[in-house]
Amino acid sequence: MKAFQREIEIGPFKRGFHIITTEVISAMPEIKNIQVGIFNVFIKHTSASLTINENASSDVRRDFENFMNYLIGENFKFEHSLEGQDDMPAHIKSSLFGSFLNLPITNGKLNLGTWQGIYLCEHRNYGGKRKIVLTAFGI
């Protein structure tokens, strides 16, 4: 069994959904040494999240942002508001999408579908740089 881990920092990104597949893969070249395994991507924040979705059309990413803002707007009277009007909605959105992804590694590559990419979902207006822990293990 082989195991590799590293922490990277990416961004800052404006609020929205951003494809980070290339940045993540290039930060963990050791994936090439694994024939069958798992790649875990974990974001160390409570106001940003990760998901997998279409990597071709930017309309998809804009639709995600627009729908999430419609679903979880900033006009609700949240108790937790010391860090700004966008903070508590960002926490809820982050919990809905999640803080980690587990992806299969097959023959030294991430085994993603043709149109799949890794999204960093930035839910704050000014979230800053984000820390992500990458872990690859397998045989």
pLDDT at 115 over 90: yes
Distance CA 56, CA 13 (A): 19
Query: pLDDT tier at 81 (50, 70, 90 boundaries)?
Result: confident
Total-model pTM: 0.96
| Average pLDDT of span 61-86 | 94
Contacts with 79 (C-beta within 8 Å, 6 or more apart), sequence order: 88
Work out the mean pLDDT of the chain and round it to a whole number. Answer: 97
Domain carrying residue 33 = 2-138
Q: How many folded domains does the chain comprise?
A: 1
User: Which CATH number belongs to the domain containing residue 50 in this structure?
Assistant: 2.60.120.460
Q: ∠ at Cα 77 (72, 80), nearest 5°?
A: 90
